[in-house]
Chain A
């Protein structure tokens, strides 16, 4: 392992007992600020602690994450949990192990070198004298701050622990896992918050609010109705009693008896034109000019051969999270309404706590947010907003706790969208078949409206009451943190002149925020599609063309994943049994964020009237892998989700807001659509871990587009690649 600096999380939380505690029975409690959102991160963290302490994973208890007792590790996002929290826990555990070894050596009056540590037991070499962690741990040992990396971490995985299964998998299969949606508290009542379909709407007129309030109050089981600005809340004794209220509000809204948009809203008919025509903030993401003008290349006749300039533009539409579960939260005002307890499946409970405190005018330390797992989360969905809804309604519950669970309609129509993007590319291809320059321009809204980052609360309900907080414009994370819309906009290839511009669109009629992989999905789709177009222009094989632009030792890992994906897929062999009509293969590569996992994908498909994606081969270098089957599961799942985005998903907007608000209007991949996925993990046990969840998104999209072109000679530059789009493109690209 390369010598590591102290992880950031250990700088802010330098005490071992902020991460690890040992019970008298010898069990270890491990604390992390990273939360389970379906990816099984707590198990990976458990394995890291077990590995460093030399204990069986079953002896490590991951403590449920809460602002009460967990380290603040911001948001669980960006494929960073193993790097950040895992690294902190690894160093804390290594320090604990070595401090215990030193304590035992002192006890025995020997040098630390005389103490062996194996299977979680310290032994004075050559004797039967042993001690365990519980025998040796003292408060002062846990509370001496970690100033620097104190102890070497276990250099190689031990081989057995990494195959220990995720315990929650079995609990979920037995039906015994308690999701947040199942949580019951004594005295719990149920609520629902209704809002306009537009991000910004006029307050509900008084007469309509009064009429609605009377109608809702008359329903059986209704405890309270609350109207505030455009928000209408209803509290009931049982969850079932909410159904008639939901139906009633839906009916009135459809009849036009409730909300009106703040401004008349006409959805853009052409996203590309709309994005480009909005006010925008342009930043130079990367600029690199050639050291000197390259000498003109001379062809066989002695005349300089012209450099060819190619241009192309690529698009992705707005996308939806489309989790199978419904956003849910519980809230309870305590101590006479001066303290708030919230249970949430948010990705960022500390950030949520901060914005709840802002929204309700409380000191931060009067709010506790505890995490409990919900359904799979793929970005900034409704989790934080429904927590606001529950807290807002619970103020009217007379001290009883309140549970709010969004409806499927709210889940699809009120959660932030993944931003639409346009990516324009221009490259100069030299006569020698090498790229001389590359220009990439991105138009997109920012990819973040998460809570916890501004002066006012970034929670949907806080923008919709009678005294609304301002709606902040979506922003992008710093490029050093991976960026947002500009994520992966800088090409990974060695090219003399590179210029990358990001145009952040300063308009947000529909809320957008982070969706898995952020800008990497569209940027890699664009760049890797363009690489194939350039390779074709140069008359080169797509693999060879890429490898030629990845020279040197610094690109060895990139070349390795490309070569491995090609080997897996039999890139240089004809398909088994001969190519069927409409058969095609395509490849693509990216290093996620240009700093994370290396990933190459080959897609195989058959195009008839629609695309039948048959296989994906994925080669990934994730550095040191903690839990191989978990990592594979993340790669497979990320690939299937990205294939679904790319082949069949697009948000439909109409005058009434987000129109694709159920599974019929927003179809995602079904079993019939899912390709086989073959994964090869390149083992790098000596390299730092790099995260697995998002690295496939961009390469999958581009590999599919490249395979379609290979199959039928039609270049798909706009996602999704539906049968209808395929037909349009085939007609507009004759020959």
Chain B
């Protein structure tokens, strides 16, 4: 965790963006982003798993990077943009990852799912056509005890293929060709 800034008697509210909305929060040297999301903002899709930054259940996007919210102090977010699962997509406007996770039934208990999807979203932003190996690497900090890893890999690859297809001029084309992943590339 970064070192907390010196505490002054009165500090101006800090401005940042959460799921597309501007927020201003009072700086509190102790509060973590996870605590803020779950208890102040009422956004409970980000899950508490260890509070040690070890399991990935609380992964969110900060300026497009996947970070554990339990290990991110609120004061470090000045001027930054945070996206949680609630801000990624909705049933009306789903993120391709959400569609793919549902289609692949890529969960059992679903406790790690929110963090998995956010880590995968960060991956697809920086690498739109990941191999299975890339996906495994990007999700290595996200633990799952139910053992749905293979379904998650499939869902992320499917989402990448769907996004590539949508992005291609004129759409259409072969989804398989858009996704270079094969089962043997691990």
A residues bordering B, Cβ < 8 Å?
37-40, 165-166, 168-170, 172-179, 181-182, 238-240, 243, 322-326, 373-378, 405, 407-408, 614, 629-630, 633-634, 636-641, 644, 662-664, 668-672, 674, 676-677
Other than the given A38-B111, A668-B145, 17 more pairs (CB < 8 A) read A40-B108, A165-B102, A169-B102, A169-B107, A173-B98, A175-B43, A175-B85, A178-B44, A243-B30, A324-B55, A405-B48, A633-B105, A637-B108, A637-B146, A669-B149, A671-B139, A672-B136
In the complex with contacts A240-B35, A326-B48, A670-B146 CB distance below 8 A = no
B101 at the interface (CB under 8 A from A): yes
Complex A-B, nearest 3 residue pairs according to Cβ-Cβ distance, in ascending order: A175-B45, A38-B109, A640-B147
A663 B55 Cβ-Cβ under 8 A: yes
A166 B105 Cβ-Cβ under 8 A: yes
B residues bordering A, Cβ < 8 Å?
30-31, 35, 38-39, 43-45, 47-52, 54-55, 57, 84-86, 89-91, 98, 101-102, 105, 107-114, 117, 135-137, 139-140, 142-153, 183, 186
B54 A664 Cβ-Cβ under 8 A: yes
Q: Which residues of B contact A175 (CB under 8 A)?
A: 43-45, 84-86, 114
In the complex with contacts A169-B102, A174-B98, A324-B145 CB distance below 8 A = yes
CB contact between A173 and one of B39, B43, B102, B139 (< 8 Å): that residue = B102
Tell me if B's interface is mostly helix, strand, loop or mixed.
Answer: loop
Q: Which residue of chain B has its CB nearest to the CB of A166?
A: B105
B143 A324 Cβ-Cβ under 8 A: yes
Residue pairs across A and B with Cβ atoms less than 8 A apart, 9 shown, are A37-B109, A173-B110, A174-B98, A240-B31, A375-B109, A634-B108, A662-B50, A669-B147, A669-B149
Q: Which residue of chain A has its CB nearest to the CB of B50?
A: A408
Q: Which residues of A contact B117 (CB under 8 A)?
A: 173
A641 to B186, CA, bound (A): 19
A239 B39 Cβ-Cβ under 8 A: yes
Considering residues B38, B57, B150, B153, which has the most beta carbons from chain A within 10 angstroms of its beta carbon? Answer: B150
Q: Which residues of B contact A324 (CB under 8 A)?
A: 47, 49, 55, 57, 109, 111-112, 143-145
Q: Which residues of B contact A641 (CB under 8 A)?
A: 145-147
In the complex with contacts A376-B111, A408-B50, A629-B105, A676-B144 CB distance below 8 A = no
Q: Which residue of chain B has its CB nearest to the CB of A577?
A: B184
CB contact between A672 and one of B91, B137, B183 (< 8 Å): that residue = B137
Shortest Cβ gap from B87 to chain A (Å): 9
Shortest Cβ gap from A569 to chain B (Å): 14
Shortest Cβ gap from B55 to chain A (Å): 6
B183 A671 Cβ-Cβ under 8 A: no
Shortest Cβ gap from A589 to chain B (Å): 21
Considering residues B30, B47, B108, B113, which has the most beta carbons from chain A within 10 angstroms of its beta carbon? Answer: B108
Q: Which residues of B contact A165 (CB under 8 A)?
A: 102, 105
Q: Which residues of B contact A670 (CB under 8 A)?
A: 140, 143
A239 to B48, CA, bound (A): 12
A637 B49 Cβ-Cβ under 8 A: no
A177 to B91, CA, bound (A): 13
B136 A408 Cβ-Cβ under 8 A: no
B111 A663 Cβ-Cβ under 8 A: no
Q: Which residue of chain B has its CB nearest to the CB of A36?
A: B109
A178 to B113, CA, bound (A): 14
In the complex with contacts A175-B86, A633-B148, A671-B153, A663-B108 CB distance below 8 A = no
A173 B52 Cβ-Cβ under 8 A: no
Q: Which residues of A contact B30 (CB under 8 A)?
A: 243
Shortest Cβ gap from A359 to chain B (Å): 27
A668 to B101, CA, bound (A): 23
A325 to B111, CA, bound (A): 7
B108 A376 Cβ-Cβ under 8 A: yes
A179 B111 Cβ-Cβ under 8 A: yes
Q: Which residues of B contact A629 (CB under 8 A)?
A: 105
Q: Which residues of B contact A644 (CB under 8 A)?
A: 147
Q: Which residues of B contact A240 (CB under 8 A)?
A: 31, 35, 39
